[in-house]
Amino acid sequence: MADLALLCRVHRVLCALPLAQVIETLRPLPIEPLAGAPSFICGLSVLRGVPVPVLDLGLLLGSEQVRPTRFVALRSGARSLALAVGSVLGVRTLSGAGVRELPPLLQGAADDAVQALGRLDRELLLVLQSGRLVPEALFAQLEAEGRRS
């Protein structure tokens, strides 16, 4: 697991994204909704000329929809996606955050989006992995929809 992470907040939840997966942070862009997409996918947005899926991190984590103040563009294998988050807090090292793998009971939670748990100060920290946020079949469907738009 990478030591440097971008910290962001969704409602009261603190999340860490491995910095190696982060492309950039940016203001929210217009989103084109997609019929039939899972509830946590807001739709498609054009980032640097390429349509990418935008995920509502609040809904993905089983909470309520987020009112995004930032998008975080991420690499997911050879593809890109954007997370709609409440705020971006900056870059921190995860050493000293007590990061541990998920206990067996929680493995598979949030569609494998949560890679590990930790603690930062007195807050629970969820370490996310971008490669598990969008299943491959869904990426293919979204790309097909993006070509039709």
> Model confidence over 107-145: pLDDT tens digits?
555 456 777 778 888 888 888 877 667 777 777 776 676
Domain enclosing residue 122, as ranges: 4-148
For tokens 């910290």, name the residue: 7
Residue 58: its pLDDT value, please? 92
pTM beyond cutoff 0.95: no
Residue 76: its pLDDT value, please? 84
Do 15 and 7 contact (CB within 8 A), yes or no? yes
Q: Provide the domain count of the chain.
A: 1
Residue 1: its pLDDT value, please? 45
How many other C-beta atoms can be found within 10 angstroms of the C-beta atom of residue 147?
8
Residue 130: its pLDDT value, please? 73
CATH of the domain at 97: 2.40.50.180
- The stretches in the chain having pLDDT less than 50 are 1-2, 110
